[in-house]
């Protein structure tokens, strides 16, 4: 595997962990289209992911973020890159 800078690795792995720990807003997980993740990560990295439109942050004291379609697609590529399987539903 090609070396990745620490900064890029933090961004990639944060998105990947957000994707793997995603949750829905009361929908059946296997049928859900919208996914969220908790904001328990470095805020600089979260801000960068938001700038790149991979996630959207709630602006008013929200403790979670919305994972965008672009973010889900990027996370799926990262699953392949790091040879991690997604949740089986």
CATH of the domain at 77: 1.10.10
**Residue 1: inside a domain:** no
Residue 44 belongs to domain spanning: 6-81
**Residue 66: inside a domain:** yes
Q: What pLDDT, on the 0 to 100 scale, is given for residue 30?
A: 85
Sheet of 64-67: strand order equals 35-38, 64-67, 55-57
Q: What number is the average pLDDT over the span 50-76?
A: 92
Please report which confidence band the pLDDT of residue 88 belongs to, taking 50, 70 and 90 as the band edges. Answer: confident
Please report which confidence band the pLDDT of residue 89 belongs to, taking 50, 70 and 90 as the band edges. Answer: low
Q: What pLDDT, on the 0 to 100 scale, is given for residue 87?
A: 84
Q: What number is the average pLDDT over the span 59-66?
A: 85
**Number of domains making up the chain:** 1
**Residue 86: inside a domain:** no
Q: Note the pTM of the prediction, 2 decimals.
A: 0.90
Strand spans (E) along 1-89: 35-38, 55-57, 64-67
Read off the pLDDT of residues 11-45 as tens digits, 9 standing for 90 and up: 999 999 999 999 998 888 888 999 999 999 999 99
């Amino acid at each position: 595997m090609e070396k990745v800078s620490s900064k890029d690795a933090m961004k990639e792995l944060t998105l990947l962990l957000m994707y793997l720990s995603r949750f829905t807003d009361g929908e059946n997980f296997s049928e859900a289209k919208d996914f969220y993740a908790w904001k328990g990560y470095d805020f600089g990295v979260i801000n960068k992911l938001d700038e790149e439109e991979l996630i959207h942050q709630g602006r008013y004291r929200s403790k979670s973020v919305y994972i965008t379609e672009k973010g889900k697609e990027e996370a799926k590529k990262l699953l392949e890159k790091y040879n991690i399987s997604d949740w089986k539903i």
